[in-house]
Structure 1
């Protein structure tokens, strides 16, 4: 009780002396105390009993390996050679050319231009590539230059529609799809079609092969310069070969018609000798 009376007397004395503030032994931040009072109480729920436990992290998806590229893809010539290895008929050959994926011409062409004429003919004519009219009709040499070629040979008694082997011809092209804009095929395009051309010749098995223009000469002889090659007989693997200028060249250069006529007469003479 004495302590209480002493404290009262001390407080009374301080009031009489004009004391209006309480000073403690150490400074205290009263604002901080207010913040602590209004702070949210911590949860009493233990971590092991969390009402909303964190969702487990999803397992990472396995990384898919990219498809393995063919380390040694076949080049077009090799693939064409393999395609024709099992070809036994003209229909097989036609199908092989249709399935050959490396010729971009087929994406811009209307039709495959395979062949026309008598498959039993002794005479086979190899052209260059289809033009606009050939692409539309799906037959080789049916345009203006083709009609000129028909006229020249028919004047010697030879035609594509004749059923007699020694008086008819079978005709095809080095390239069986029309190049865009009727441009000339380039070397790698000729190279990729060479296996098909050789197989075509093998299936027809002609006695005489006529090469019309530089593209055909490149495919078979690996040579160009048709004005120098024309009119000269060649023999490869017991096959008689005669290069002549392309009829489209004759339309642009009519002065060569005389030379072409002489070449066709020589072909006719050779056929007569074979009868």
Structure 2
């Protein structure tokens, strides 16, 4: 007849099992504790600590595409642009310059970036350039506020009115393309080199102006920006020819 273990022998055996990892009294199947991975492996003595994981890089262009894609109205698009946190231009601008004129108009004008007057008012084509634009449109029987819709490539003014960078244009173009899709104009008028770069992927307004192209499913024509005409009055003759061509295009499809 086998003798029973005394208290101290039984306790010693139990402590030995716990030290080996046998802490579960019952289990469906045997567990090889030595085969389990250490959840937090200790560094070897003298080894340098592992570097912290790098934060995931954010692609601002892709983030802009995602934000623009879900906007199902002009109001939703404006809200998405106001909430967009990847463009530092908004930190130094007074206002978001979204649009002016009549949504759904046959003609949509796209300027470059807000100037000082646009930044103050929150409206594109403001100030002296806007006044000249109104006269230009009236000359071909278009009422600025009722028959034309206007926006810019950039909704925020760059510091000191500098030229936008290629990265800034690329970042904000998805919002512009969605803006065009929601506004549904018949014709796009690109006023300035930045507008040409965003929509056509080209620059060189003196070479591009007055030539009709297709982009984003729309007929597109580049023209001089009214601000350019204020600085270079000699180009008004070319701008008048482009306006007449725009009027002829509208009349041909009306």
Normalised TM-score (structure 1): 0.71
In the alignment, is residue 110 of structure 1 matched against residue 91 of structure 2? no
Q: What residue in structure 1 maps to residue 113 of structure 2?
A: 129
CA contact (8 A) 2:209 2:222 kept: yes
CA contact (8 A) 2:200 2:215 kept: no
Runs of 4+ in 1 over 6 A off after TM superposition: none
Q: How does 1:159-174 map to 2 (within 5 A)?
A: 159-162=143-146, 168-174=147-153
Q: What residue in structure 2 maps to residue 138 of structure 1?
A: 122
Task: Note closer, same or farther for the CA distance 1:69–1:150 as it changes in structure 2 (3 Å cut).
Answer: farther
- Deviation of 1:160 after TM superposition, in Å, equals 2.3
CA distance in 1, matches of 2:225, 2:140: 18
Q: SS where residue 155 of structure 2 aligns?
A: coil
Aligned with residue 185 of structure 1, among 164, 178, 187: 164
Q: SS where residue 176 of structure 1 aligns?
A: coil
Deviations 1:214-257 (A, max 9, x none): 00000011100000000001123541100001111111111110
In the alignment, is residue 119 of structure 1 matched against residue 98 of structure 2? no
CA distance in 2, matches of 1:260, 1:81: 34
CA contact (8 A) 1:126 1:173 kept: yes
Q: What residue in structure 2 maps to residue 258 of structure 1?
A: 237
Q: Greater CA deviation, 71-80 or 210-219? A: 71-80
CA distance in 2, matches of 1:110, 1:237: 30
Aligned with residue 97 of structure 1, among 58, 78, 81: 81
Q: What residue in structure 2 maps to residue 83 of structure 1?
A: 67
Aligned with residue 269 of structure 1, among 244, 248, 252: 248
Normalised TM-score (structure 2): 0.77
Task: Note closer, same or farther for the CA distance 1:215–1:137 as it changes in structure 2 (3 Å cut).
Answer: same
Q: SS where residue 265 of structure 1 aligns?
A: helix
- Deviation of 1:170 after TM superposition, in Å, equals 0.1
Task: Note closer, same or farther for the CA distance 1:69–1:204 as it changes in structure 2 (3 Å cut).
Answer: farther
- Deviation of 1:69 after TM superposition, in Å, equals 6.2
In the alignment, is residue 212 of structure 1 matched against residue 175 of structure 2? no
- Deviation of 1:72 after TM superposition, in Å, equals 2.9
- Deviation of 1:70 after TM superposition, in Å, equals 6.4
Q: What residue in structure 1 maps to residue 33 of structure 2?
A: none
Q: SS where residue 131 of structure 2 aligns?
A: helix
Q: SS where residue 145 of structure 2 aligns?
A: coil
Length, aligned pairs only: 203
CA distance in 1, matches of 2:152, 2:194: 9
CA RMSD of aligned residues (A): 1.3
CA contact (8 A) 1:210 1:241 kept: yes
CA distance in 1, matches of 2:189, 2:100: 15
CA distance in 1, matches of 2:100, 2:216: 24
Gaps in structure 1 of 5+ consecutive residues: 1-67, 163-167
Q: SS where residue 161 of structure 1 aligns?
A: helix
Gaps in structure 2 of 5+ consecutive residues: 1-51
Deviations 1:59-116 (A, max 9, x none): xxxxxxxxx7664332110100111121100011101110111211211111111000
Q: What residue in structure 1 maps to residue 137 of structure 2?
A: 153
